[in-house]
């Protein structure tokens, strides 16, 4: 079916600003296929059901809206964590600022190098999980990414990585429009933690494809940067083998527009997938978590924990789906999305969905929207805790269930400190 003219024109206008990089034959085929996928659906529009609560305009427009650089005097995140740093400035790999791309237990390449060569595991992954994630719901901005990503990193873990790989995204140009694509392959029994932080660019489109083989483990902790005007659309596509583990946590503070999609497929028995988020927004802030988890194997566990603290015009969105296929018996699926609204001028939209075809499963979901508990506030204050501090204690308590999804204590403490600092800065008299 031909696209409506408006959608066609908008898609072509966006594409006209981009140029696909060159590469090996297989990579060009993958990019060409992605372009065809994008052109078949066109870029999202605000009338699309999947974009009902988040206007895609600013993510799909031909040029990136300008975003001021935000000066921060905070200690960089993960400063005390021993990690391999890989730095991108406005979406371009910065070799000088990065550590050597070598680490026991893993292989790392820059995307451009990998797609110019014939590395079998990259060929078997690049755009492959993204393609699988296009049904039953199209994700055109991810197809755009596969077709046009100019940089990224590919990582293959063959054993236990000696330390986390830390992707640092710096934002130095007010008009940068970055498209990054990462591929991560966790081989059987291997174990890797990937950290991400930074505002990345004025506008950021990122795809991460993560293939976790049998018995592998992948941990992901992301902090989306504080620049107020930055915009981001990100997709994580994950496929999990037998007895594998995938755990992803995201903290978002500030950012005028963020849409994070996580598309996870449990394809091997006894696999575990957790996706969590702790989000705090003040004023002009729109944050959307869209999650799609497919259970396609026996005795798997999935868990979604999303907590949003919103105030003064901030908007939160959660669209979370658990699809349990007919053969996915003994599935244990859990989903909670909660918003804490600190004033009357904040909004939260939640759309939890369960679609279950197996008959022997445990699936639960819940969603709540509420204000600070006034009884708890009075109790704390009556013991001498000042109002602002009392509210922060209650906000952090609200976020705790999401933060507890981070397994590494030192990393969790770092994230907690960052959230605490944000709360103190945003205290109201």
Binding residues vs other proteins (CB under 8 A): 373-376, 378-387, 389-390, 393-394, 396-398, 400-401
Q: What would the two tokens of residue 112 be?
A: 């451009």
Cβ proximity to other proteins, 387 vs 425, nearer residue? 387
Cβ proximity to other proteins, 81 vs 376, nearer residue? 376
CB 351 within 8 A of CB 319: yes
CB 78 within 8 A of CB 414: yes
Cβ proximity to other proteins, 59 vs 406, nearer residue? 406
CB of 370 to other proteins, least distance (A): 13
Q: What would the two tokens of residue 299 be?
A: 């005795």
CB of 65 to other proteins, least distance (A): 37
Cβ proximity to other proteins, 125 vs 395, nearer residue? 395
Provide the pairing of β-strand 272-282 with 301-311: parallel
Number of alpha carbons in the 13 Å side-chain half-sphere of residue 114 = 25
Q: How many whole angstroms separate alpha carbon 203 and alpha carbon 148?
A: 14
Cβ proximity to other proteins, 4 vs 400, nearer residue? 400
CB of 244 to other proteins, least distance (A): 30
Cβ proximity to other proteins, 358 vs 393, nearer residue? 393
Q: What would the two tokens of residue 114 be?
A: 């990998």
CB of 339 to other proteins, least distance (A): 16
Classify 126 as helix, strand or coil: coil
Q: How many whole angstroms separate alpha carbon 178 and alpha carbon 2?
A: 29
Q: What would the two tokens of residue 429 be?
A: 């008299």
CB of 396 to other proteins, least distance (A): 7
Q: What would the two tokens of residue 110 be?
A: 């820059």
CA distances 18 to 61, 165, 405, Å, are 12, 29, 38
CB 334 within 8 A of CB 274: no
Cβ proximity to other proteins, 175 vs 397, nearer residue? 397
CB of 81 to other proteins, least distance (A): 23
Expressed in angstroms, the distance from the first to the final Cα of the chain is 57
Provide the pairing of β-strand 231-240 with 217-224: unpaired
Cis peptide before 136 (omega within 30 of 0): yes
The helix (run of H) or strand (run of E) holding residue 310 is strand 301-311
Q: DSSP letter at 371?
A: -
Cβ proximity to other proteins, 84 vs 402, nearer residue? 402
CB of 399 to other proteins, least distance (A): 8
CB of 397 to other proteins, least distance (A): 3
CA 135 to chain centre: 19
Classify 186 as helix, strand or coil: strand
Cβ proximity to other proteins, 117 vs 385, nearer residue? 385
CB of 429 to other proteins, least distance (A): 12
Contacts (Cβ under 8 Å, ≥6 apart) of 109: 101, 119, 122, 153, 154
Cβ proximity to other proteins, 387 vs 427, nearer residue? 387
CB 146 within 8 A of CB 181: yes
CB of 390 to other proteins, least distance (A): 8
């Amino acid at each position: 079916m031909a696209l409506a003219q408006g959608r066609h024109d908008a898609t072509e206008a966006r594409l006209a600003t981009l140029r696909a990089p060159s590469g090996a034959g297989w990579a060009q085929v993958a990019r060409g296929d992605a372009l065809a996928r994008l052109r078949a659906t066109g870029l999202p529009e605000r009338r699309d059901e999947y974009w009902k609560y988040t206007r895609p305009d600013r993510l799909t427009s031909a040029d990136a809206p300008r975003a001021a650089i935000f000066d921060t005097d905070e200690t960089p995140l993960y400063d005390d964590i021993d990690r391999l740093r890989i730095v991108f400035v406005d979406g371009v790999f910065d070799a000088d600022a990065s550590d050597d791309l070598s680490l026991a237990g893993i292989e790392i390449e820059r995307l451009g190098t990998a797609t110019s060569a014939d590395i079998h595991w990259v060929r078997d992954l690049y755009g492959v999980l993204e393609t699988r994630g296009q049904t039953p719901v199209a994700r055109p901005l991810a197809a755009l990414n596969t077709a046009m990503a100019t940089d990224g990193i590919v990582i293959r873990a063959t054993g236990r990585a000696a330390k986390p790989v830390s992707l640092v995204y710096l934002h130095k140009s007010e008009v940068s429009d970055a498209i990054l694509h990462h591929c991560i392959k966790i081989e059987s029994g291997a174990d890797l933690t990937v950290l991400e932080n930074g505002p990345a660019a004025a506008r950021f489109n990122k795809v991460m494809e993560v293939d976790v083989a049998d018995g592998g483990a992948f941990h992901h902790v992301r902090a989306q940067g504080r620049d107020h005007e930055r915009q981001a659309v990100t997709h994580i596509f994950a496929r999990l083998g037998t007895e594998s583990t995938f755990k992803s946590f995201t903290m978002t503070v500030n950012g005028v527009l963020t849409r994070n999609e996580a598309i996870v497929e449990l394809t091997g028995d006894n696999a575990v997938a957790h996706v969590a988020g702790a989000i705090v927004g003040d004023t002009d802030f729109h944050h959307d978590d869209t999650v799609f988890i497919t259970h396609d194997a026996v005795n798997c566990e999935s868990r979604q924990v999303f907590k949003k603290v919103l105030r003064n015009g901030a908007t939160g969105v959660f669209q979370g789906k658990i699809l349990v296929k007919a053969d996915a018996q003994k599935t244990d699926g859990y989903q909670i999305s909660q918003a804490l609204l600190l004033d009357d001028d904040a909004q939260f939209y939640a759309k939890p969905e369960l679609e279950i075809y197996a008959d022997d499963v445990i699936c639960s979901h819940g969603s709540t929207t509420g204000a600070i508990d006034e009884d708890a506030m009075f109790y704390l204050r009556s013991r001498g805790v000042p109002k602002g501090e009392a509210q922060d204690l209650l906000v952090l308590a609200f976020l705790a269930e999401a933060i507890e999804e981070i397994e590494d204590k030192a990393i969790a403490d770092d994230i907690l400190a960052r959230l605490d600092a944000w709360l103190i800065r945003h205290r109201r008299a």
